[in-house]
């Protein structure tokens, strides 16, 4: 599972982590058995969400960060599984009728369409608990369990993953009247330009909603790979920059792709008046923003020297999705 | 906070733990500040749910179990807070329109009525993560953190709290067609009598839905109070018996109380054709069942000798609610 040499990006594997995916899929399937006492329909819904086809970006980040810190990727797998469970829960709940009300995700019916709404709510709830259970039961060193639970619970909590979604919904529905006042005030302190203030607010949402879990993935990898504090800090910076770039590119793709190639309804964000980067900066401005973020992300991980190739490759990939 | 002598039940304090409530309320309020980065409306909804008026049964059980095992109640407070957060989340989500669709709980509007449905979903989600964060950040000993996270995540997961709610909804809506097949088969293996089979199924739901969190409360107290494995086992037996008795009595009260004294719509379970103990056993049969459960619960905790008075007092109280 630790192949040498580290692969370079290619047309067959633009992400540079395709070789990690079979072991990730296998670990996810094994973790999602939920045998004893789990109602079968609930377990089916949880598996439907976690084992849905996907790139496994977050689990791969856990493994790549562990590798960058000089650790074994196998020992980081419990973190990879737990973060994918949290990601899956957040997608289930974000898609609910009371939230983003989406019927399709990557071309498949969303969980509440395939099953039903109460089952989808409960499957999401159970996945949060199962993620922490997995960390506490599958990692050997108690100190690493404690650090891993701290990192994942913070990222999944009120100030980050959930708080970002709450602000995102508030911004969309209430014309930003009910958004986090602190964020609005902070934005206004830096600039009187309303585009810049909206951009700062948009980035604060994405730093939390998308970025928090990306950052937690890298930090889990660092914890489970035995990283130093300096290494954890460098990965946190990289995470923040790549996470934002990922969102900028997602917004760009929403503007430029058609429904067939994305497998979900596109242009929907714009219809609903949701804040997006191309909406604020134009397509060219958003592209430049993504470019800058990735240059800086690569600078941050130069400290890992020859062990940063996968992370560098991934940063390139995030950018190239938009070209 | 560790008064001597341990109080005995009285007409002013039938639960025998009224003296513990001020320190529990104070710990909950302190834990629910959610200052940095939490959107204010989300934080308000979380506080609305956690700080709602209540008896604080689960937190008190954590403290009482720690005391029974010879530990300090103060050192068990992080477990008390975490379990109340999980309890609060489960009430928020159970009340949602897609679930039990309740507007009132203890005479107050439910979270999605007082705020809105997406805020209620997100407040519940965030409380799960905050509960684990609280354990990982407020307990000193890493080994106790690990045990506490294992216990709480298991109780809150797919096989217990969430699985019980899933089966409860399935039993109510689908005439038990889609309930956990294992439970149905297990029930049928013991008896061909359909009342007994329904009773076994009802008890399996309550063992998980109500009982799992009661059991986790006592186990958290034992872990944080330095209990032995034998002590943890005795508390698990007590939990199972008192948890079931609590549910039997709740069902009895639903049959016999009026809306004003309970602060919620009563008889609603019966209207909806939900399985209940008086429905299966009659009022007298259900009362006898509760009596038997409590006698056995008290026998289990006799191993704690003079440190079991609060737990014994509580068992009496659970029963006397119905008389």
Q: Choose the mutation target among A89, A111, A128 for the interface with B, i.e. most B CBs under 10 Å.
A: A128
Q: How confident is the model at residue A268 (pLDDT cuts 50, 70, 90)?
A: low
pLDDT in tens, A21-31: 999 999 999 99
pLDDT at A176: 44
- Chain B positions in Cβ-Cβ contact with residue A41 (cut-off 8 Å): 166, 170, 178
- Average pLDDT of the residues in A132-157: 98
* Beta-carbon separation of A128 and B129 below 8 A: yes
- Chain B positions in Cβ-Cβ contact with residue A174 (cut-off 8 Å): none
Calpha distance A145→A130 (Å, rounded): 14
Question: CB-based burial of residue A46 (10 Å sphere; 0-12 exposed, 13-18 middle, 19+ buried)?
Answer: buried
Question: Is A106 in contact with A54 (CB distance < 8 Å)?
Answer: yes
Q: What angle do CA B150, B139, B111 make, to 5 degrees?
A: 70
Which residues are bridge partners to A23 per DSSP?
A: none
pLDDT at A270: 55
Whole-angstrom CA distances from B206 to B200, B203, B211, B294, B295 are 10, 5, 6, 16, 19
pLDDT at B226: 96
Lowest mean pLDDT among A31-40, A47-56, B146-155: A31-40
Query: Which sequence spans correspond to the domains of chain A?
Result: 18-320
Share of chain A above pLDDT 90, in %: 60
Whole-angstrom CA distances from B183 to A323, B188, B201 are 54, 9, 7
- Give Cβ neighbours of residue A9 (< 8 Å, ≥ 6 apart): A15, A16, A313, A316, A317
> For B181, which of A40, A93, A98 is closest by C-beta distance?
A40
Calpha distance A58→A81 (Å, rounded): 9
* Beta-carbon separation of B126 and A169 below 8 A: no
> How many residues are listed for chain B in this entry?
323
Calpha distance A123→A28 (Å, rounded): 16
For B:196-235, CB contacts with A below 8 A are: 208
**H or E stretch covering B109:** strand B108-109
Pick the closest to residue A17 from A69, A70, A49, A54 (CA basis): A54
Token pair for residue B258?
A: 């009026």
- Chain A positions in Cβ-Cβ contact with residue B219 (cut-off 8 Å): none
pLDDT at B170: 85
Calpha distance B218→B21 (Å, rounded): 17
Q: What CATH topology corresponds to A18-320?
A: Farnesyl Diphosphate Synthase (1.10.600)
pLDDT in tens, A158-169: 999 999 999 888
Question: CB-based burial of residue B10 (10 Å sphere; 0-12 exposed, 13-18 middle, 19+ buried)?
Answer: exposed
Token pair for residue B201?
A: 């199924």
- Does residue A188 register a pLDDT over 70? no
Q: What angle do CA A314, A320, A321 make, to 5 degrees?
A: 95
Calpha distance A318→B116 (Å, rounded): 36
ipTM: 0.86
pLDDT in tens, A82-121: 999 999 999 999 999 999 999 999 899 999 999 999 999 9
Question: CB-based burial of residue A108 (10 Å sphere; 0-12 exposed, 13-18 middle, 19+ buried)?
Answer: middle
- Chain A positions in Cβ-Cβ contact with residue B42 (cut-off 8 Å): 158, 162-163, 166
| DSSP state for residue A109 in the 8-state scheme | E
- Does residue A190 register a pLDDT over 80? no
> For B166, which of A119, A137, A150 is closest by C-beta distance?
A119
Calpha distance A30→A50 (Å, rounded): 11
pLDDT at A43: 97
User: Is residue B113 within 8 angstroms of chain A, CB to CB?
Assistant: no
pLDDT at A323: 58
Pick the closest to residue A123 from B118, B162, B126, B92 (CA basis): B162
**H or E stretch covering A315:** helix A309-320
Distance from CA of B180 to the nearest CA of A (A): 5
For A:159-178, CB contacts with B below 8 A are: 159-163, 165-167, 169-170, 178
Q: What is the pLDDT along chain B (323 residues), one digit of tens a residue?
A: 444 445 555 667 778 899 999 999 999 999 999 878 899 999 999 999 999 999 899 999 999 999 999 999 999 999 999 999 999 999 999 999 999 999 999 899 999 999 999 999 999 999 999 999 999 999 999 999 999 999 999 999 999 999 989 988 888 776 544 444 444 444 444 444 677 777 777 777 777 888 889 999 999 999 999 999 999 999 999 998 998 898 899 888 887 764 445 555 455 555 555 678 888 898 999 999 999 999 999 999 998 988 988 999 989 988 887 55
Distance from CA of A9 to the nearest CA of B (A): 36
For A:289-318, CB contacts with B below 8 A are: none
Token pair for residue B221?
A: 């107290």
**H or E stretch covering B105:** strand B104-105
pLDDT at B8: 55
- Average pLDDT of the residues in A274-299: 90
Q: Choose the mutation target among A31, A33, A37, A168 for the interface with B, i.e. most B CBs under 10 Å.
A: A37
**H or E stretch covering B104:** strand B104-105
């Amino acid at each position: 599972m630790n192949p040498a040499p580290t692969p370079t990006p290619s047309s067959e594997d633009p992400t540079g982590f395709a070789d990690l995916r079979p072991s990730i899929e296998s670990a996810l399937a094994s973790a999602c058995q939920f045998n004893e006492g789990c109602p079968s329909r609930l377990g089916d819904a949880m598996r439907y969400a976690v084992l849905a086809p996907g790139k496994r970006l977050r689990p791969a980040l856990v493994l790549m960060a562990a590798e960058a810190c000089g650790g074994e990727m196998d020992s980081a797998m419990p973190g990879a599984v737990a973060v994918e469970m949290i990601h899956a829960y957040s997608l289930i709940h974000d898609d609910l009728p009371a939230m983003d009300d989406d019927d399709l995700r990557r071309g498949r019916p969303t969980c509440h369409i395939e099953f039903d709404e109460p089952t989808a709510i409960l499957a999401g709830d159970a996945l949060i608990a199962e993620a922490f259970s997995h960390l506490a039961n599958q990692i050997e060193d108690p100190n690493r369990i404690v650090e891993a639970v701290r990192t994942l619970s913070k990222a999944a909590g009120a100030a980050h993953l959930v708080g970002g979604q709450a602000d995102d919904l508030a911004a969309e529905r209430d014309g930003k009247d009910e958004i986090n006042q602190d964020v609005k005030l902070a934005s206004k302190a830096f600039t009187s330009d309303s585009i810049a203030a909206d951009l700062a607010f948009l980035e604060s949402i994405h730093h939390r909603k998308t970025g928090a879990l990306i950052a937690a993935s890298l930090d889990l990898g660092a914890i489970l790979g035995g990283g130093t504090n300096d290494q954890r800090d460098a990965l946190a910076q990289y995470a923040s920059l790549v996470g934002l770039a990922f969102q900028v590119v997602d917004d760009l793709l929403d503007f430029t792709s058609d429904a067939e190639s994305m497998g979900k309804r596109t242009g929907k964000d714009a219809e609903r008046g949701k804040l997006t980067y191309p909406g604020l900066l134009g397509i060219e401005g958003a592209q430049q923003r993504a470019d800058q973020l990735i240059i800086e992300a690569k600078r941050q991980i130069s400290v890992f020297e020859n062990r940063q190739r996968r992370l560098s490759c991934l940063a390139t990939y995030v950018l190239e999705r938009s070209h």
